[in-house]
Chain A
Amino acid sequence: MAKIKTSKLSAGQRTVFLCHGTGCVSNEAFAIRKAFEKSIERLQLTDIKVDFTGCHGFCEQGPIVFVQPEGIFYAHVSLDDVEEIVYSHFRDNKPLERLMYKDPSSSEIVPYFKDINFYKKQRHIVLRNCGRINPERIEDYIATDGYQALQKVLFSMTPHQVIDEVKISGLRGRGGAGFPTATKWQFCHDAPSDKKYLICNADEGDPGAFMDRSMMEGDPHSVIEGMAIAAYATGATEGYIYIRAEYPLAVNRTKFAIKEAEERGFLGKNILGSDFSLKIHIKEGAGAFVCGEETALIASIEGRRGMPSSRPPFPTQSGLWGKPTNINNVKTLATVPLIILHGGKSYSQTGTEKNRGTSIFALTGKINCMGLVEVPMGTKLADIIFDIGGGIPNGKKLKAVQTGGPSGGCLPANMINLPVEYEAFANAGSIMGSGGMVVMDEDTCMVDVARFFISFTQSESCGKCVPCRLGTKQMLNILENICQGRGNITDIDLLQNLAQSIKVSSLCGLGQTAPNPVLTTLSYFRDEYEEHINDRRCRAAVCTGLVTYSIIAEKCPGCGLCIRECPVQAVTSSGKKKPVILDQSKCTKCGACFNICRLGAIAVK
Chain B
Amino acid sequence: MNYLRLNINSREIKVKPGTTVLQAAQASGTYIPTLCADPDLKPHGGCRLCIVEVKGMRNMPTACTTIVSEDMVVNTETEAVHKERRSVIDLIIADHPMDCLTCIKNQRCELQDVAAYLGITERNLPRTIKQKPIDDSNPFFTFNHNYCILCQRCTRTCDEITGVNAIEIINRGYNSKVSTFGDKPLMESICKSCGECVARCPVAALVAKNSIMPTSKIETTCPYCGVGCMMELGIRNGKIVSVEGSRSSQANNGRLCVKGRYGIADFVQHPERLVQPLLRKSNTLIETSWEEALNIVAQKLSAYSGDQIAVIASAKCTNEDNYIVQKFARSVLGTNNIDHCARL
Contact = CB atoms under 8 A, between A and B. Distances in A.
Nearest to B91: A470
A501 B83 contact: yes
B87 interface: yes
B172 A507 contact: no
Contacts of B174: 458, 461, 463, 469-470, 472-473
B46 A507 contact: yes
A505 B48 contact: yes
Given A312-B67, A477-B128, A505-B84, A466 B47 contact: yes
A299 to B, nearest CB: 12
Nearest to B89: A466
A44 to B, nearest CB: 59
Contacts of B91: 466-467, 470-471, 474
Contacts of A309: 45, 65
A507 B48 contact: yes
Most A CB contacts (10 A, CB to CB) among B60, B67, B87, B152 go to B87
A506 B61 CA distance: 10
A308 B53 CA distance: 21
A497 interface: yes
A119 to B, nearest CB: 40
A467 B47 CA distance: 8
Given A310-B62, A467-B88, A501-B83, A506 B48 contact: yes
B189 interface: no
Interface in B13-53: 43-49, 51
Given A310-B65, A505-B48, A507-B48, A466 B92 contact: yes
Given A477-B128, A505-B60, A461 B48 contact: no
B67 A461 contact: no
B250 interface: no
Interface in A292-321: 305, 309-310, 312
B136 to A, nearest CB: 25
Interface in B66-81: 66-67
A38 interface: no
A463 B47 contact: no
Given A458-B173, A467-B48, A501 B128 contact: no
Contact of B47 (A465, A471, A474): A465
Most B CB contacts (10 A, CB to CB) among A305, A469, A478 go to A469
Nearest to A471: B91
Given A470-B92, A474-B128, A461 B173 contact: yes
Interface string A11-53: 0000000000000000000000000000000000000000000
Nearest to A462: B172
B163 interface: no
Given A466-B46, A467-B91, A470-B91, A505 B173 contact: no
A414 to B, nearest CB: 30
A65 interface: no
B81 to A, nearest CB: 10
Contact of A463 (B49, B65, B87, B176): B176
A183 to B, nearest CB: 16
A281 interface: no
Interface residues of B, number: 36
B46 A464 contact: yes
A411 to B, nearest CB: 24
Nearest to B175: A463
Most A CB contacts (10 A, CB to CB) among B62, B83, B125, B174 go to B174
B215 interface: no
B315 interface: no
A177 interface: no
Interface string B67-111: 100000000000000011001100110110000000000000000
B126 interface: yes
B319 interface: no
Contacts of B88: 466-467, 501, 505
Contacts of B150: 463, 469
A476 B231 CA distance: 47
Interface string B161-182: 0000000010111111000000
A563 interface: no
A261 interface: no
B84 A463 contact: no
Contacts of B173: 458-463, 469, 472
Contacts of A464: 44-46, 152
Interface in B133-180: 149-150, 152, 169, 171-176
B120 to A, nearest CB: 14
A504 interface: yes
Interface of A: 288, 305, 309-310, 312, 458-467, 469-474, 477-478, 494, 497-498, 501, 504-507
Closest 6 A/B residue pairs (Cβ): A463-B176, A310-B65, A501-B87, A461-B173, A310-B45, A470-B91
Interface of B: 43-49, 51, 59-62, 65-67, 83-84, 87-88, 91-92, 94-95, 125-126, 128, 149-150, 152, 169, 171-176
22 contacts: A288-B172, A461-B174, A463-B150, A463-B172, A463-B176, A466-B46, A467-B48, A467-B88, A469-B150, A469-B176, A470-B91, A470-B92, A471-B87, A473-B128, A474-B94, A474-B125, A474-B126, A478-B126, A501-B84, A501-B87, A505-B84, A507-B46
